[in-house]
Structure formats: structure tokens, C-alpha cells
Amino acid sequence: MPIGLPAELLVALRRARRVAALTGAGVSAESGVPTFRDAQTGLWSQYRPEALATPQAFQRDPKLVWEWYAWRRELVGRARPNPGHLALAEFERRLAQRGAVFTLITQNVDGLHAQAGSQNLIELHGNLQRTKCFDCGRPAETWAEDGSVPPRCPACGGRLRPDVVWFNEALPPEALTAAFEAAQACDVFLSVGTSGLVEPAASLPFEALRRGAVVAEVNPHETPLSAHATFVLVGPAGEVLPALVQALSRQ
Ligand code: APR
């Protein structure tokens, strides 16, 4: 069944000089990446996310937290970008051809947008494939395989951790500033596959609305943004986004 795309949205996207998009776990669902809470299955079902994804949890049981992330890293390592990720990368290339700017802000830590070819990308919650030191904060790319779990920081001997933003942690300030600037400066804002429950990312579409941007939501389910968005495109990102990009290429 063809997806109904509002003509006014297509007009706004064709005219836009700046477009920003915010994505969440929903955009990776069709790549088989479980959302944060869905990932709590099998072996790990006895733990609440708050029990594993906080600095306090890491301090209490660093081995447990490291091993949980190692398991998630392996899951994500097998995933590939889906048509939704690819459509966003294609959209960026098309906007660039006519001198317009596209900023992609993601809450996902799976790295699939970069794999799909997105360039102007803000990873607000970090990246699962990167590692840093819990104690000194330096990034680490290699470390001694001496059986320590978590491994030791090559710079200070501290404990290594995934470079993601945990509950009770601040977002990287440059990424946060760049995300708010993009939301405030854009003509059109797309909110894709996010429940809009987690701040500060949840405020970005409202910031865009406040500045007069057209805001379109792509989600199979209603969210707190739905009643406020200029357009709501109900459906999976892997179908709606390719249809949108295809429609934009038709004159
Ligand atoms: N296409 C688009 N959206 C989808 C799809 C799909 N195929 N499948 C599910 N969704 C929608 C759901 O309806 C839901 O609104 O994706 C959203 C996923 O919501 P969450 O699981 O809450 O994910 P997200 O919004 O990314 O969570 C934000 O919270 O758990 C923390 O730090 C974690 O980055 C995460 C943040």
C-alpha cells in the first residue's frame, strides 16, 4: 500500500535550507537491534536497565556491566543499516547537492547511521563501539588482554567502560549544543523512531516548533509529540523514509 505523504511536507522539504532529524531506537528496530528494554532478555532479564547503565552500577560491579555491554556490542556488530538509515544518508547527499544542510541527531549508540553513510551526524548518547576510561576519561583503542574484566586503561591503569551516556550522566556538551543549534536553525525537523520520553533529546522537536519549523514525526505509534507535530507519518521508518526520499526526487 503506498504511504500517504502530505504534499505540504514535500513542498517544505524541497524549499528547506536546513533540515534536522532526531532518531531513536525505532530506526534500528528493522535492523534487528533490540531497544534498550527489549535487550533485557534471556540471560540478562533479571536486571533492570537502571541496574546496569549507571555509573553507580559500574562502581558496584564493573565486571557485570562490562560483560553486559560486550554482549550488546556483539549483537550490534552483526546488525546492518536498513532502508531507513540508507534513506537518511541519501537525503543528506541530495540536500548537499543543492547547497542545503542536513544535521542528523541520534540517540542510538549502534553506529548504524555512520555505516549507512550519514556524514553530519551527532551521536548524543555516544557509541557502543568506542571505549574510554571510567577513571581518567581518556579514549582507549587498544589495551592489554591480561584477563582483567573490565580491561585496564593503558594511560592510567583505571577501569575501561563503553563510551555511552548512562542514566545519571550528562550528555557530551558540544554534541548537546550542536543538536540544539540545529533544532533552532532548521526549517524542517523530522522526529523518527523515538518515544520522546528521554530528556534532553525529547525537547529538540519542541524547540524546532517554537522557532517556527515544520515538524514531522515518523513512528508507527503515538508519542507525546504526535499531538503537536505539524505532520505525523504513521508507519515504520524503513518504509516511510525511503518513500519520502523517493517522492522528493520526483518533481
Ligand atoms: N520505525 C519507527 N519507529 C519505530 C519502529 C519502526 N520500525 N519500531 C518502533 N518504533 C518506535 C516506537 O513506537 C517508540 O516510539 O520507536 C520508539 C522507540 O522508543 P524507545 O525504545 O523509548 O527508544 P528511544 O526513544 O530511542 O529512547 C531514548 O532512552 O533508553 C534510553 O538512552 C536510551 O537512547 C535511549 C533513550
pLDDT one-digit tens code per residue, 172-229 = 999 999 999 999 999 999 999 999 988 999 999 999 999 999 999 999 999 999 999 9
Helix (H) or strand (E) holding 188: strand 188-192
pLDDT score at 151: 97
Residue with cell 523517493: 246
pLDDT tier for residue 33 given thresholds of 50, 70 and 90: confident
Q: Is 54 in the pocket of ligand 1 (CB under 6 A)?
A: no
Sheet holding 160-164, edge to edge: 139-140, 126-133, 160-164
Q: Ligand 1, closest atom to CA 35?
A: 21
Dmax of the chain from CA atoms? 60
Mean of per-residue pLDDT scores for the chain: 93
Q: Is the pLDDT of residue 40 over 60?
A: no
For 3-19, the pLDDT digits (tens) are 679 999 999 999 999 99
Q: Is 205 in the pocket of ligand 1 (CB under 6 A)?
A: no
Q: Is the pLDDT of residue 52 over 90?
A: no
Residue with cell 537518511: 88
pTM: 0.94
- For the segment 51-65, the average pLDDT, to the nearest whole number, is 93
pLDDT tier for residue 1 given thresholds of 50, 70 and 90: very low
Nearest to 232 by CA among 75, 38, 9: 9
Residue 98, C-beta contacts closer than 8 angstroms, at least 6 positions apart: none
Radius of gyration of the chain (CA): 19
Cα–ligand 1 centroid distance for 170 (angstroms) = 20
For residues 17 and 145, which has the higher predicted lDDT (pLDDT)? 17
Number of other CB atoms surrounding residue 113 within 10 Å: 27
125 carries an active-site annotation: yes
- For the segment 54-76, the average pLDDT, to the nearest whole number, is 93
SS3 assignment, position 170: coil
Residue 111, C-beta contacts closer than 8 angstroms, at least 6 positions apart: 76, 123, 127, 128, 129
List the residue whose alpha carbon is closest to atom 30 of ligand 1: 36
For residues 133 and 44, which has the higher predicted lDDT (pLDDT)? 133
Among 48, 72, 110, 198, residue to substitute to test ligand 1 (most atoms within 8 Å of Cβ): 198
Q: Is the pLDDT of residue 37 over 60?
A: no
Taking the alpha carbons of 54, 57, 62, 64 in that order, is the dihedral positive or negative?
negative
